[in-house]
Structure formats: structure tokens, C-alpha cells
Chains A and B, each alone.
Chain A
Amino acid sequence: MNTTIMLFLLQDGITNGAIYALLGLALVLVFAVTRVILIPQGEFVTYGALTYASLAAGQMPGTAKLALALGIGAFAFDLFAARKALHGRLILRSIVTNIVLPAIVLALTVYFAAQKPPVAVCIALSLVIVAMIGLFLYRIAFQPLAHTSVLVLLIASVGVHLALQGLGLLFFGAEGQRGPAVLSGSFTAGALRFTGQSITVYGITIAFIVGLWLFFGLTLYGKALRATAVNRLGARLVGIRTTLSGQIAFLLASVIGALSGIMIVPITTLYYDSGFLIGLKGFVAAIIGGLVSYPLTAVAALVVGIVEAFSSFYASNYKEVIVFMLLIPVLLLRSLAAPAVEEEKD
């Protein structure tokens, strides 16, 4: 093998790895805070990507309507939960976040879709739509189950994944789509050619990781999220609502998912069901990080990306097999390192 090919593969691997890193971090975050293994993370990726691509092509994405429908569902849940003590202010807040907001976004989407909006508008709308879907899904599917076991949450998670994937087929059809590059143009450095898109991927990944680090390290809400992850009862005893932490975690995860999708879709054609596999690779990284360690997850994600790039060059038929096989030695090592299985506290 010559150095040029190796560098190419490495570059390709790092670009993909950066995206897996973001997804892996989101998975760790959601699991730590809510104990949900977020299988639908992949759908956030496809929804983000395909909403963006549809808007850029001047089509109306169905996801905007889904956001409103889910919002109405979330409002119904809020109303049911508050049935014994109806507080005017709480109901009003629920109406604004669950119905008024998605309705406005739907109106904006309808307006802009008709006139092929600029890239920035497409990105903003896609992010907001998917963020709302994530938030409302938490309210409808996970918040009512928050006190149950990890297994029940996992089953709910699989259910949400299947439902979203089915809806994805309905909204976007079976055809793959590509979106316009966020940053066009390219430059070469030695043998390597950097496209504007890959620079965008690196830049956004790094910015997000730094942003998350600052958020968790410095802000009160970031610390509250960490506190919920470390000790749920302790967090409740200082007045941090578990539901608030869950909402923030899902909001972050859906935004990260959608953003990843928007970054990938100019590079590869995405289908309604592509997200699952992409999400799974983030999951491999998260598992290598033990579903707790953020830095380990980020590093593992880069390894996953690089291994994938090299295996697709040498044994492209076995690409996925090789990537997922990474898990086996890791799980083996982890099981040896931590023989005691901790009982679930609740």
C-alpha cells in the first residue's frame, strides 16, 4: 500500500469518525441521564439529512407535520398529567411549546419550501424540526416510563425506532437523496485534498465537543444534567427535575443527530433507513466507552471510522462485519475488568 492511499483512507476515516463521535457522545449523554439506549438516534440523523435535502430541493418535508402531530400528542399527555390540578400558567406554557411553536415552524416550512430557500435557512429549519420531534418523543414515549427498568426503556426505544423508520419511508420515499454542500470548494495540502464539506465536519464536530464540554463544566444546567446522571435521587433532593434533565438530553441528542445528518448528506446518498447503521456505529463507540466515558467514546469513534475506512478498501464486503466485530474484544476485556455486575438500584 502506498502512503497516498493510506492518507486518503485515514482522512476518510477521520471524517466519518468525527460524525460517529458526535452520535456516540449523544448516546452516552442520553443513557447517563435517562437510562434510555437511544436506538432512534439514527432516525434523527436521517430526518435531519432528508429534511434538509428536501427543503433544498424545494420540497415540503413531512417531518414538519410530524412535529406538530407529536406536539399535539405531547400536549395531551401534559393535560392528562395535570388533570388533578390544572394550573393556568403550566397549561399555557405547554400550549406554546407543544402546539404554537411547531405550528409556526410548519408555517415557515410551507412558506420556504415553495421557494428553494438558501442553505442556512434549510439547516435552521431542519434542526428546529428534528429538535422538536426529539423533545416531544421524550414526552410521549419515555417520560411516562422514566421510573421503569432499562429493559422496558430499551423496548420503547426499539418501538420508537421502528415507528420513525416507517414514517421516514412515508415522508421521503424509498429513493435516496443528497443535499447541497454546506461549504463548497476545496484545497489541496500535499497529496491530500480537503473539501469544504470535510472541513465543515471537522469544524462543527470540534465546536460541538468544546461546546458540550463548556456546557457540562461551567453552566448550572450542564452540571444539573451531570448530577442527574451521577445520582438521580440526589438530584431530585436539590430540586432538579428528572424530566427537565431528560428533555435537555433528548433535545441535545436530536440536534446532534440532525446536524450529523446534514453534514453527511452532501457526501453520501442517504435513504430513509440509512440512519440506523450510522447510529449503530456511534453506538459501538459508546459501548467501547462503557456508556459512561465521553473522551473514550470520542476516541473510539475515530477508531471505528478509521477501521471502517480501511476495511472498506481491503474487504468492502465485510466492512460492517469488521466494524461490529470490534465490540467483541472490547466487551470481553470489559467483562474481565469488571466481574461484579451492579444491580439496578431502583
Chain B
Amino acid sequence: MSALLSVADAHVAYGKVEAVRSVSLEVGQNQIVTIVGANGAGKTTLLSAIMGILPLKGRVAFAGQDLSRLDIEDRVAMGLGLVPEHRELFVTMNVEDNLELGAFRIERSKAKASMERVYTLFPRLKERRKQLAGTLSGGEQQMLAMGRALMGAPKLLMLDEPSLGLAPIIVADIFRIVTELRTAGVSVLLVEQNAQAALKIADQAYVMELGEFVLSGKASDVAANERVAASYLGFQHEGASGL
């Protein structure tokens, strides 16, 4: 099975500073792939570059097609979706308008069914559909950002820190929905600081440090790795010295 998204030897730079160096990754069909790493490791930069927001040196292919000459809007139309860390909602418009615009690039007739699906996934959004996006709580805004991205019927959804700043109960909800997406045939590329939760639901995982992948493999193997456990999972394996 060929990969849905494949990134090879990617470099992303802000001026002279290389924030991402020689990174390669693959996301297969119906897979959740996670990139974990500390703040400032370059995770968000990598996602932005895959989406076309930042220029990327290297090869990016999606569904077998080279993305290098396509801009953000074309990538969206191809079925690549990004829910950015800052969500970038249309805050002065209501929930329903935000969702409707999420389906800007798909046929009108399919948009309606799409909206029903999103409302089934996030019943809270249906309750609040006439409310302005800017007045929603943080968790609801995250749901709306995900819902808006799903309206475009993406094949691959990239989520940037979906749990950041949210209450644990909402985080659990969001991670549950991510696994539901996989069941529904949407692949997910998940960037998270909450490594424990991310590794639990992911199939594949990459660990990013200072702009490079230092470890990759099956999520369960990565989670079992001592260094990962010590640095990201907040506990240490037996044998390591305690406090």
C-alpha cells in the first residue's frame, strides 16, 4: 500500500535559521501518525510547510501527486486539511457559517451531508450553531476548528496541538474523536505535546528534537523507549535513578 502522504528529506527555514532539517515521514491510509516533541522542536513548522504556508525544500507527495507547485488552496481541494494551533476561526461569524465555509471547495449537494456528519461527531456545535465562533469556549473552538476542516471531506487531517490549553475531560473527548475519524477512513497526522495521550491512540510515531526526527517507529515501540519515557511521558523506567 502506497503512503497517502510522503515527505522526503524536507528542510524548512525561517531566513537563515533552519527550523526543520532533513525530515522524512509517511502517513498511510487509515492511520494515525503522531509527531511528539518538546516546545520549539519544529513540529508546527513542519505541518505549516506540508500545508504550503511555509516554503519547504525537499519532496512532498500527497495521494501520489507532487505538491511542490500547489498552493494552500489547491492542497485543500486535494483533500489535505490542517487544524492549526491557533485554530484561525472566523470569530465574528457564527458556528454554522464557519462550517459552511469549510465546505467551500466541495459540491454544494455534499456539504449538507457533511454538516450532519460533523454535528453527529460534535453535538455541542449543533447546540451552538447560531453562536459567534469568537464567543465559544476553548474546547468548543477546537471542536469547531476540527469540524470546519472535516467539512472539506479531507483524506488526511493534520492536527496541531489539539489538546493545548483544554480541560482533561475535553481532551479525552477530542482524542476519542480522532480515533473515530480513523474508523471513518480519515488519516490523521497529529502533533502533540501531550505525548502520552498521543502515543496511546497512534499507529506510528516520530519523535522530534531540535528540528530533526530522533526516533520513529510503531507508536507502542516508541512509547516503550526509555528515553522517550523519561523525556516526554513524565515517568522513568525501573533501573533509572529516582529523585
**Which A residues lie at the B interface, using CB under 8 A?**
84-85, 220, 223-224, 226-227, 230-231, 233-241
Residues 67 to 98 of chain B near chain A (Cβ within 8 Å):
69, 72-73, 76-77, 81-82, 84, 87-93, 97
Residues 137 to 166 of chain B near chain A (Cβ within 8 Å):
148-149, 151-152
0/1 string, B46-73, CB within 8 A of A gives 1: 0000010100000000000000010011
State the interface size on chain B (CB cutoff 8 A).
29
Decide if B148 touches A238 in the complex (CB within 8 Å): yes
Write out the residue numbers on chain A whose beta carbons fall within 8 Å of the beta carbon of B97. 223
Q: Is B235's CB within 8 Å of the partner chain A?
A: no
Decide if A237 touches B101 in the complex (CB within 8 Å): no
Which of A84, A220, A231 meets B88, CB within 8 Å?
A231
Docked CA distance A87–B90 (Å) = 33
Which of A85, A224, A230, A239 meets B77, CB within 8 Å?
A239
Closest CB in chain B relative to A324 CB, distance in Å: 30
Which of B91, B92, B93, B149 meets A237, CB within 8 Å?
B149
Write out the residue numbers on chain B whose beta carbons fall within 8 Å of the beta carbon of A223. 93, 97, 100-101
Write out the residue numbers on chain B whose beta carbons fall within 8 Å of the beta carbon of A239. 72-73, 76-77, 104-105, 152
The 8 nearest A-B residue pairs measured at CB = A234-B88, A239-B105, A239-B76, A236-B72, A230-B90, A227-B90, A239-B73, A233-B88
Write out the residue numbers on chain A whose beta carbons fall within 8 Å of the beta carbon of B91. 230-231
Residues 31 to 51 of chain B near chain A (Cβ within 8 Å):
51
The 18 sampled A-B contact pairs (Cβ below 8 Å) are A220-B104, A223-B97, A223-B100, A223-B101, A230-B91, A233-B53, A234-B87, A234-B88, A235-B101, A237-B81, A237-B84, A238-B101, A238-B102, A238-B105, A238-B148, A238-B152, A239-B105, A240-B73
**Which B residues lie at the A interface, using CB under 8 A?**
51, 53, 69, 72-73, 76-77, 81-82, 84, 87-93, 97, 100-105, 108, 148-149, 151-152
Decide if B76 touches A233 in the complex (CB within 8 Å): no
Residue among A223, A231, A235, A239 with max Cβ neighbours from chain B (10 Å) = A239
Decide if B152 touches A233 in the complex (CB within 8 Å): no
Decide if A237 touches B76 in the complex (CB within 8 Å): yes
Main secondary structure of the interface of A (DSSP, over half): helix
Decide if A227 touches B93 in the complex (CB within 8 Å): yes
Decide if A226 touches B93 in the complex (CB within 8 Å): yes
Residue among A220, A226, A236, A240 with max Cβ neighbours from chain B (10 Å) = A236
Decide if A234 touches B76 in the complex (CB within 8 Å): no
Given known pairs A238-B104, A238-B152, A240-B73, the reply for A230 and B92 (CB within 8 Å) is yes
Given known pairs A231-B89, A237-B149, the reply for A224 and B82 (CB within 8 Å) is no
Which of A85, A227, A230, A240 meets B69, CB within 8 Å?
A85
Docked CA distance A340–B58 (Å) = 41
Given known pairs A236-B72, A237-B72, the reply for A230 and B148 (CB within 8 Å) is no
Write out the residue numbers on chain A whose beta carbons fall within 8 Å of the beta carbon of B69. 84-85
Closest CB in chain A relative to B191 CB, distance in Å: 15
Decide if B104 touches A224 in the complex (CB within 8 Å): yes
Write out the residue numbers on chain B whose beta carbons fall within 8 Å of the beta carbon of A235. 90, 101
Write out the residue numbers on chain A whose beta carbons fall within 8 Å of the beta carbon of B84. 233, 237
Write out the residue numbers on chain A whose beta carbons fall within 8 Å of the beta carbon of B73. 236, 239-241
Besides the known contacts A223-B93, A230-B93, A237-B72, 12 further A-B residue pairs in the complex with CB atoms under 8 A apart:
A220-B101, A233-B53, A233-B88, A234-B87, A234-B88, A237-B51, A237-B81, A237-B149, A238-B104, A238-B105, A239-B152, A240-B101
Decide if A231 touches B90 in the complex (CB within 8 Å): yes
Docked CA distance A166–B97 (Å) = 44
Which of B100, B149, B151 meets A220, CB within 8 Å?
B100
Given known pairs A233-B53, A233-B84, the reply for A238 and B76 (CB within 8 Å) is yes
Write out the residue numbers on chain A whose beta carbons fall within 8 Å of the beta carbon of B102. 238
Closest CB in chain B relative to A342 CB, distance in Å: 14
Closest CB in chain A relative to B151 CB, distance in Å: 8
Closest CB in chain A relative to B193 CB, distance in Å: 22
Closest CB in chain A relative to B137 CB, distance in Å: 19
Which of A220, A224, A234, A240 meets B89, CB within 8 Å?
A234
Docked CA distance A234–B151 (Å) = 14
